[in-house]
Amino acid sequence: MLTPEQIRKDIDTDRAELIRLGVEFNKERRELGSKEFAFEKAMAGALVTYEVNWRQLNPTEKRLPGEDVRKAHAMGLVGKAWPEYLNSKANVEALDKLIRIRQSHMSSLQSELNYMSEELRNA
């Protein structure tokens, strides 16, 4: 069984780790924003390129292929923007989960410490 001192030490460790994770999460969220912008910009350019090429190859056609087809073709033109965006998004999601796990752990330690304190008062 943990002593109150050990629990306090673990709470301090969790608190320090939450601060570190919070800083890292903030940095990664900003990076995600820039990666998302780069992807959206690349996708917009790829869609324009696809449409221009399609109209040159099909001058008599009035209608473009469906949106899903256009996007599928454009994805092949965005280059590294898509995987970089997905990687950044995964990093943010992983950090978010780590933060929630650490918060939950710290909360359980605090509850245990409160229980021990109550037991001492009642003894």
By the 8 A CB rule, do 21 and 99 touch? Answer: yes
- Per-residue confidence (pLDDT) for residue 10, from 0 to 100: 95
What span, in angstroms and rounded, lies between the C-alpha atoms of 19 and 72? Answer: 41
What span, in angstroms and rounded, lies between the C-alpha atoms of 88 and 102? Answer: 21
- Per-residue confidence (pLDDT) for residue 40, from 0 to 100: 97
Which pair of structure tokens corresponds to residue 103?
């918060």
Mean of the pLDDT values across residues 11-32? 97
Mean of the pLDDT values across residues 66-78? 93
Full-model pTM: 0.81
Of 1, 6, 14, the residue nearest 107 (C-alpha) = 14
What band does 83 get if pLDDT is binned at 50, 70 and 90?
A: very high
What band does 32 get if pLDDT is binned at 50, 70 and 90?
A: very high
By the 8 A CB rule, do 38 and 123 touch? Answer: no
- Per-residue confidence (pLDDT) for residue 24, from 0 to 100: 98
Mean of the pLDDT values across residues 24-53? 97
Residues 6+ apart with CB under 8 A from 5: none
Mean of the pLDDT values across residues 11-39? 97
By the 8 A CB rule, do 110 and 8 touch? Answer: no
Alpha helices in the chain (DSSP H): 4-57, 67-75, 81-122
Q: Residue 64 corresponds to which amino acid?
A: L
User: Would the pLDDT of 61 be above 90?
Assistant: yes
